């Protein structure tokens, strides 16, 4: 039901609003003290789309080489990506030469990275972007290149000397949980000691889960973001499984996220092959609700205008980057429709409704506004804007109103509720 006129605010309602403000402003757990990732990291990461292709003879345009990163850097600058916030251009596995140099330092494959990482970093910086790199806490990277075990200090120093701005630190080939934990902590401190600002992206909890429950309060003190669950694939099955894992573990992981430290549900695969339009909308909307790092893995040289517009949607990015820094959560699931919500600054809320039914057509779903935001989302009224699948001003709603939406199968309707 749409509201035509506004209701005057009573003292009681104002008090409730004040209470909400206080509750949502309570600071989260202690964070890694490097001043970075105050909002979720945004950028591009090669893995999902380009994987470990080292064959530059046969596939010069898609092998892991400085050329690929230089092309992406150019496009990030020229095609509006940087302007909307995608800043970190990140190398994943398979950049290294098979052996360390004579001084024990990691080195890039000389054929594929003839300018070295230093040269690539200079180029990326000249475009106003930042460079991310990848290494592994164990004896080898997941793809079998040299690991950092026993070399944490020298590797941190090498990355800093090269001008690297982010490290993704993987957890393959580690021989014990103790080494895993010690290694992640050691690298965090080593990066800090370099004096260079380097975002530290961990996979520590993902590799801990098979052995014991991760201590997220501790992980937050060492990492700027951390992967919890399996690698994302270019498929709906994969995106769906990440959402299911996140909602079933939300009691454990949501409260720990905040400025400086974020849960990382892995890359955005929007603009590739496996997701339908509605599924791409769902990934973008839910990554915003989850306050997830927005690291695209796609080919910016070949991307549809529709996928580009979705990834560059400023309203949705603003939700992801909201300065309050509270991660959203699944509020309920009824009859294959999930309702997620996220508190935002200025007493606003984001609400996403996902239709998980994979048979039939679009479904209507009615929510009572009073059920949102623990009853505080729209007191006494609010202005609702639908942001996805397309932008529509829905107007004023009252706390007592209902809102009827239509959601495509595997699609999402993303709303923003703004206090009046």
135 lines the binding site for ligand GLA (CB under 6 A): no
Q: How far is the CB of 170 from ligand GLA (least distance, A)?
A: 5
Instruction: Annotate 80-125 with three-state secondary structure.
Output: CHHHHCCCEEECCCCCECCCCCCCCCCCECCCCCCCHHHHHHHHHH
Q: With respect to ligand GLA, which residue has the nearer C-beta, 169 or 329?
A: 169
Closest CA to 348 of 368, 326, 317: 326
Do residues 89 and 43 make contact, with C-beta atoms less than 8 angstroms apart? yes
Task: Return the range that interacts with ligand GLA (CB under 6 A); candidates 8-16, 112-120, 135-143, 153-161.
Answer: 135-143
- Rounded CA gap, 107 and 89, in Å? 19
Q: How far is the CB of 262 from ligand GLA (least distance, A)?
A: 16
Tally of CB atoms within 10 A around 10 = 11
Instruction: Identify the residue among 68, 108, 143, 198 touching ligand GLA (CB under 6 A).
Output: 143
Neighbours of 105 (CB within 10 A): 14
Site for ligand GLA contains 109 (CB under 6 A):
no
| Annotation marks residue 170 as catalytic | yes
In three-state secondary structure terms, 279 is helix
The yes or no reply on residue 93 touching ligand GLA (CB under 6 A) is yes
Q: Which stretch binds ligand GLA (CB under 6 A): 7-15, 119-127, 138-146, 328-336?
A: 138-146
What minimum distance in Å lies between the beta carbon of 321 and ligand GLA?
23
- Taking CB under 6 A as the rule, does residue 234 contact ligand GLA? no
Told to check if 264 binds ligand GLA by CB under 6 A, we report: no
66 binds ligand GLA (CB under 6 A): no
Q: For tokens 């003290």, what's the residue?
A: 33
Q: Using CB under 6 A, count the residues that bind ligand GLA.
A: 9
Active site residue 155: no
Active-site choice (93, 170, 234, 322): 170
Residue 14 CB partners (closer than 8 Å, separation 6+): none
Give the β-pairing of 262-264 and 225-227: parallel
**What does the angle CA 218 – CA 45 – CA 232 come to, to the nearest 5 degrees?**
70
Provide the residue count of the chain.
Answer: 420
Give the shortest CB-203-to-ligand GLA separation in angstroms.
6
Is 47 near ligand GLA (CB under 6 A)?
yes
Residues at the site binding ligand GLA, with contacts judged by CB under 6 A: 47, 92-93, 141-143, 170, 203, 231
**Catalytic site positions:** 170, 231
């Amino acid at each position: 039901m749409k509201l035509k006129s506004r209701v005057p605010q009573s003292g009681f309602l104002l008090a409730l609003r004040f209470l909400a403000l206080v509750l949502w402003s309570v600071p989260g757990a202690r964070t890694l003290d490097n001043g970075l990732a105050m909002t979720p990291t945004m950028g591009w990461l090669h893995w999902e789309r380009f994987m470990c292709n080292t064959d530059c003879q046969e596939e010069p345009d898609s092998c892991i080489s400085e050329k690929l990163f230089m092309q992406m850097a150019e496009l990030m600058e020229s095609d509006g990506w940087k302007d909307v916030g995608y800043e970190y251009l990140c190398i994943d596995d398979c950049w290294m030469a098979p052996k360390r140099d004579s001084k024990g330092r990691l080195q890039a494959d000389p054929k594929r990275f003839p300018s070295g990482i230093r040269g690539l970093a200079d180029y990326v910086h000249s475009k106003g972007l930042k460079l991310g790199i990848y290494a592994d806490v164990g004896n080898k990277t997941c793809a079998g290149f040299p690991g950092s075990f026993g070399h944490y200090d020298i590797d941190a120093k090498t990355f800093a000397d090269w001008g690297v701005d982010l490290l993704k630190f993987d957890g393959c080939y580690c021989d014990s949980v103790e080494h895993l934990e010690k290694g992640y902590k050691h690298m965090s401190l080593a990066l800090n000691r370099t004096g260079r600002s380097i975002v530290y992206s961990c996979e520590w909890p993902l590799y801990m889960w098979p052995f014991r429950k991760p201590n997220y309060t501790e992980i937050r003190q060492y990492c700027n973001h951390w992967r919890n669950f399996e690698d994302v694939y270019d498929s709906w099955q994969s995106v769906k499984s990440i959402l299911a894992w996140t909602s079933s573990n939300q009691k454990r992981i949501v409260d720990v996220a905040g400025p400086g430290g974020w849960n990382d549900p892995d890359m955005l695969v929007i603009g590739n092959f496996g997701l339908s339009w509605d599924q791409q909308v769902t990934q973008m909307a839910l990554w915003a609700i989850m306050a997830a790092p927005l690291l695209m893995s796609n080919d910016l040289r070949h991307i549809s205008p529709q996928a580009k517009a979705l990834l560059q949607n400023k309203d949705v990015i603003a939700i992801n980057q909201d300065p309050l820094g509270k991660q959203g959560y699944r509020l309920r699931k009824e009859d294959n429709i999930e309702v997620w919500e996220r508190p935002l600054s200025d007493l606003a809320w984001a609400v996403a409704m996902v239709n998980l039914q994979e048979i039939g057509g679009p479904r209507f779903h009615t929510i009572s506004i009073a059920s949102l935001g623990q009853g505080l989302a729209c007191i006494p009224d609010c202005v609702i804007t639908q942001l996805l699948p397309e932008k529509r001003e829905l107007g004023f709603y009252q706390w007592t109103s209902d809102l009827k939406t239509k959601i495509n199968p595997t699609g999402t309707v993303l709303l923003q509720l703004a206090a009046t």
